[in-house]
Amino acid sequence: MIIMKQKSIEDILDALSGEKKVFIAGCADCATTCKVGGEEEVEEMKKKLEEAGFEVTGTCIFDTACLSGEVRQKGKDFKEALEAADSVLVLACGTGVQTIGDVLELVVHPGTESLFTGQVVRLGKYEEKCRTCGECLLEYTDGICPVTRCSKGLLNGPCGGYSKDGKCEVDPEKDCAWLLIYERLKARGHLEKMKEIQAPKDYSKMLSPRRLVWERGTAKVGGGSK
Ligand code: SF4
Ligand code: SF4
């Protein structure tokens, strides 16, 4: 899921300066799990904006704010309140903000910072595990991503700089990803995978903006300058 945090109220008020009427949109998916754009947070934001002198013309929580069809449909249910507002404050990820802006053709303000795609370890604890590189190597590492979890993104490791207690030389707070990979492969009897030299990564697969289109059962992936 997309991990995000809410922008400060000062930044939000700054973005809304010069406007009087606002509609607030949240998202029942990632933004709710991250506690930045669910029912509770939308209600809290409404109170804060009203205290600051804004008229809140309406609020809604999209089931998934990055789904164009869902935004188009729900936009019709809230047409009047949306059209009465100068802008929409969106408490969802950057993709949700743009989906609402594109589909409903309204002025949008982001109310959150989208940080990374992450694993929910537990509510309130999120960890980045994948950088969506487009060329997955987890097969060779038994499920631990070196691209994301090794501070240097080494495809063949470790670098030799890890400490005696197995911490990374770049970030002593975290375990060396390549030692974790070694321990896992060893425990599962897969150590021969460590001997396979991985070729340099094709970073063109990470060029943005990426897109994927299904055509006759085939996924066509494009991105960057392609
Ligand atoms: S190698 Fe890592 S960054 Fe790339 S797709 Fe797999 S998990 Fe994601
Ligand atoms: S110590 Fe480990 S995690 Fe840190 S950069 Fe070196 S190989 Fe990567």
pLDDT digits (tens, 9 = 90+) for 4-44: 999 999 999 999 999 999 999 999 999 999 999 999 999 99
Q: Pocket around ligand 2: residues whose beta carbon is below 6 Å from it?
A: 150-152, 154, 157-159, 161-162, 168-170, 176-178
DSSP at 175 = B
**How far away, in angstroms, is 177 Cα from ligand 1 center?**
13
pTM over 0.75: yes
Instruction: State whether residue 65 is helix, strand or coil.
Output: coil
What is the per-residue pLDDT across 41-93, written as a single tens digit (0 to 9) for each?
999 999 999 999 999 999 999 999 999 999 999 999 999 999 999 999 999 99
Q: Tell which atom from ligand 1 comes closest to the C-alpha of 145.
A: 2
What is the per-residue pLDDT across 102-161, written as a single tens digit (0 to 9) for each?
999 999 999 999 999 999 999 999 999 999 999 999 999 999 999 999 999 999 999 999
Residues of the chain with pLDDT > 90, as a percent, come to 92
Residue owning tokens 């013309």: 57
The ligand whose atoms approach the alpha carbon of 205 most closely is 1
**How far away, in angstroms, is 138 Cα from ligand 1 center?**
7
Residue 226's pLDDT band (cuts 50, 70, 90): very low
What is the per-residue pLDDT across 155-164, written as a single tens digit (0 to 9) for each?
999 999 999 9
Are residues 154 and 168 in contact, defined by beta-carbon separation less than 8 angstroms? Answer: no
Q: Pocket around ligand 1: residues whose beta carbon is below 6 Å from it?
A: 130-133, 136-138, 145, 147-148
Distance, CA of 135 to CA of 175 (rounded, Å): 24
Pick from 184, 185, 166: nearest CA to 176: 166
Q: What is the pLDDT of residue 223?
A: 67
Average pLDDT value over all residues in the chain: 95
Pick from 99, 9, 103: nearest CA to 54: 9
Pick from 201, 195, 154, 197: nearest CA to 177: 154
Residue owning tokens 């979890």: 149
> Beta-carbon neighbour count of residue 117 at 10 Å?
17
Pick from 41, 11, 14: nearest CA to 25: 41
The ligand whose atoms approach the alpha carbon of 151 most closely is 2
Residue 44: phi and psi, rounded to 5, are -60, -45
**How far away, in angstroms, is 80 Cα from ligand 2 center?**
55
**How far away, in angstroms, is 43 Cα from ligand 2 center?**
44
